[in-house]
Structure 1
Amino acid sequence: MTGVTLTNTIKKYGEVQTIHDVNLQIEDGEFCVFVGPSGCGKSTLLRMVAGLEETTSGQIHIGNRDVTNVDAAERGVAMVFQSYALYPHMTVEENMGFGLKMTGHPKAEITKKVSEASHILKLDDYLKRKPKALSGGQRQRVAIGRAIVRGPEVFLFDEPLSNLDAELRVDMRVEIARLHKEIGATMIYVTHDQVEAMTLADKIVVLRAGRVEQVGKPMDLYNDPDNRFVAGFIGSPGMNFVAGQVTDKGVEIAALGGRVVAPNVTLPPIGTEVIVGLRPQSITLSAGDTAQLELRERLGAVAYDHLICTDGSKLIVETRGEDMLEEGTSVSLSFNDADVFLFDKETEARLR
């Protein structure tokens, strides 16, 4: 197996630039996830690695090979798409081995590779079935098996779980994580679902409008975001953002009825407006008059309380346990200074 390197990578469609000067190193055997909202360029970037989109400028290396202008079939990658793209008239076994058959591999070798892949993916009992007799999760495993039998240097996944229901998505996330550990291959995975990104990735690449906002381990991005976009995108529910103002004693936060001292942050001049960020689990509720509990989403042991502050700001607070306040109750909010994130109002960059 081998890694992938993107150097000053740019993609244009005519005069429209969709990928902006991406520099990225994906290590050998790493599980790297491209994540971001719809239209951010993550699938385009993946297709550039695959050779399905031309690279306007810059370079793409797979291992030590410059594959920037190499045909997709010669890059040593295998791609799993959102649609399963299985041949309906072929059995599972035939679908998985079709690529090798078309490239002239001996029948015995094809049988051996299909058997190995089906064992890894627990498809041994389904080899003689046709796709219509399979569930969505089983069909996606067949699509992954078709990629495995090719023995690629790099696996590419383009939102492979988008067509599955919630329960199957969880099951397939576990399957893909197990597969990565078992075969140790370099994998690049595209999703708009930050939960998938957090649970699967060794490394996350957060994209917005064709630009890389931040690269890092999942919990590093969660605990130490570089800007408001990353802070709001990584984590579920997303981070709360309210207005703050710098004073001689720290940052006053009208919506939360409190102040942040922020001793380890270099603050802008007194009077400057900033953005204050707090994650839902970092706020504690009690009876008071700072906000009103408008709606509660109950998810069993945890609930998400939707609040409206006296200044009109909206917040989500995570609460646990049986002793919860009722909807319509007026509440006060408390938090620890260490849990607060501060961002520049204009650039949205993190204040450090």
Structure 2
Amino acid sequence: MSGLQLTDVIKRYGQTQVIHGVDLTIEDGEFCVFVGPSGCGKSTLLRMVAGLEETTEGTIEIGARDVTRADPAERGVAMVFQTYALYPHMTVEQNMGFGLKMNGHPANEIKEKVSEASRILKLDDYLARKPVALSGGQRQRVAIGRAIVRGPEVFLFDEPLSNLDAELRVEMRVEIARLHNEIGATMIYVTHDQVEAMTLADKIVVLRAGYIEQVGAPLHLYNDPDNKFVAGFIGSPAMNFFDGVNTGGTVTVPALGGATMRAPASLTADGPVTVGVRPNKVALSDGGTHTVDLSERLGGISYHYVNAPDGSRIVVEAHDQHAPAPGSKTGISFDVEDAYFFDAKTEQRLR
């Protein structure tokens, strides 16, 4: 297996630039997830690594080999797409071994590699079946098996779970995590689902409009975001953001009942500032002027949506089954030490 190095990678379509000078190192055996909203460039960047999109400028190295201009077949990568792309007239075994057969590998080698991939993916009972007789999750496992038998240096996954229902998504997420643990391969995984990113990744790359916003371990990005975008994208439900005002080193937040807190050291000028608090750090309290809009009770956890007097929406995460009546009044409490501060203009984190 091999690592990956992207150096000042740029992609243009005519005069339109969609990837802007990306620098990224993915270590050998690392599970790296590209995450971001639709149109942020994550799939384009993945396809550039695969060789399915031409790199306009910069270099891409896999295992210290410059593959920037190499054909896809010469890069040592295997890609699993959103669609399964299985041959309907072939059995599972034939689908998994077809690529090796076309490349002239001997039959006994193909059988051995398909057998090993089938064991890893728990497909032994389905080898004689055709795709029509498989569930969506089983078909996706076959597509992953087809990649495994090639023995690539890097596995590429382009939103492989987006066609599955909620239960199968959880099941396949566990399967992919187990697969990575077993074979230890370098994997790059694209998703817009930050829950998938948080649960699968060793390293998350947060993209927006073709730029990398932040790179780091899942909990590092959750606990120490560099800007408002990362803070709002990583974490479910998203972080609450409020307009605040800094006056002489004291920040006042009208949406939180005029709560005051000490400004961070880097905030020296008076004026507007954005304050962020995660839903699990906010609690309902007796009395107050906030209005309960609705509650979602999920069993052991509840989400309460509360409107502040100034019209701001606050999401409160509670670990109980109590739900205040819609339209009732409530207070909001939180520990000021749990607040994040962001520049109101640049949206960069203030520490």
Q: TM-score surpassing 0.5?
A: yes
Q: CA deviation at 1:113?
A: 0.2
| Residues 101 and 260 of structure 1: CA distance in aligned 2, closer, same or farther (over 3 Å) | farther
What residue number does 1:327 align with? 326
Q: CA deviation at 1:212?
A: 0.2
**Cα distance in 2, alignment partners of residues 178 and 69 from structure 1:** 33
Q: Does 1:38 align with 2:45?
A: no
What residue number does 2:196 align with? 196
Residue 309 of structure 2 aligns with an amino acid whose one-letter code is T
In the alignment, is the contact (CA less than 8 A) between 1:93 and 1:127 conserved in 2? Answer: yes
Q: CA deviation at 1:329?
A: 1.5
Q: CA deviation at 1:177?
A: 0.1
Residue 175 of structure 2 aligns with an amino acid whose one-letter code is E
What residue number does 1:310 align with? 309
What residue number does 1:107 align with? 107
Residue 280 of structure 1 aligns with an amino acid whose one-letter code is P
Task: Report percent identity of matched pairs.
Answer: 69
What residue number does 1:72 align with? 72
Residue 189 of structure 1 aligns with an amino acid whose one-letter code is Y
What residue number does 1:55 align with? 55
Q: CA deviation at 1:286?
A: 1.1
Q: CA deviation at 1:87?
A: 0.2
What residue number does 1:283 align with? 282
**Cα distance in 2, alignment partners of residues 321 and 141 from structure 1:** 38
Runs (5+) with no aligned partner, structure 1: none
Residue 130 of structure 1 aligns with an amino acid whose one-letter code is K
**Cα distance in 2, alignment partners of residues 16 and 242 from structure 1:** 35
User: Could you report, residue by residue, the CA deviation over 1:194-246 in whole angstroms, capped at 9, with x for unpaired residues?
Assistant: 00000000000000000000000000000000000000000001011110000
What residue number does 1:245 align with? 245
Q: Does 1:142 align with 2:159?
A: no
What residue number does 2:340 align with? 341
SS across alignment from 1:181: helix
The 5 A counterparts of 1:294-305 are 294-305=293-304
Moved more, 256-265 or 68-77: 256-265
In the alignment, is the contact (CA less than 8 A) between 2:8 and 2:59 conserved in 1? Answer: yes
Q: CA deviation at 1:322?
A: 3.6
**Cα distance in 1, alignment partners of residues 265 and 176 from structure 2:** 40
Residue 10 of structure 1 aligns with an amino acid whose one-letter code is I
User: Could you report, residue by residue, the CA deviation over 1:117-172 in whole angstroms, capped at 9, with x for unpaired residues?
Assistant: 00000000000000000000000000000000000000000000000000000000
SS across alignment from 1:326: coil
What residue number does 2:160 align with? 160
| Residues 322 and 162 of structure 1: CA distance in aligned 2, closer, same or farther (over 3 Å) | closer
State the TM-score, normalized to the length of structure 2. 0.98
**Cα distance in 1, alignment partners of residues 325 and 248 from structure 2:** 38
In the alignment, is the contact (CA less than 8 A) between 1:287 and 1:329 conserved in 2? Answer: no
Q: Does 1:130 align with 2:121?
A: no
Q: CA deviation at 1:7?
A: 0.1
User: Could you report, residue by residue, the CA deviation over 1:56-113 in whole angstroms, capped at 9, with x for unpaired residues?
Assistant: 0000000110000000000000000000000000000000000000000000000000
In the alignment, is the contact (CA less than 8 A) between 1:256 and 1:290 conserved in 2? Answer: no
Q: CA deviation at 1:27?
A: 0.3
**Count of residues paired in the alignment:** 351
State the TM-score, normalized to the length of structure 1. 0.98
SS across alignment from 1:286: strand
In the alignment, is the contact (CA less than 8 A) between 1:255 and 1:290 conserved in 2? Answer: no
| Residues 85 and 66 of structure 1: CA distance in aligned 2, closer, same or farther (over 3 Å) | same
In the alignment, is the contact (CA less than 8 A) between 2:280 and 2:317 conserved in 1? Answer: yes
Residue 287 of structure 1 aligns with an amino acid whose one-letter code is D
Q: CA deviation at 1:288?
A: 1.8
Q: CA deviation at 1:324?
A: 3.9
RMSD of equivalent CA atoms: 1.0
SS across alignment from 2:262: coil
4+ residue runs of structure 1 moved beyond 4 angstroms?
none
What residue number does 2:208 align with? 208
In the alignment, is the contact (CA less than 8 A) between 1:161 and 1:172 conserved in 2? Answer: yes
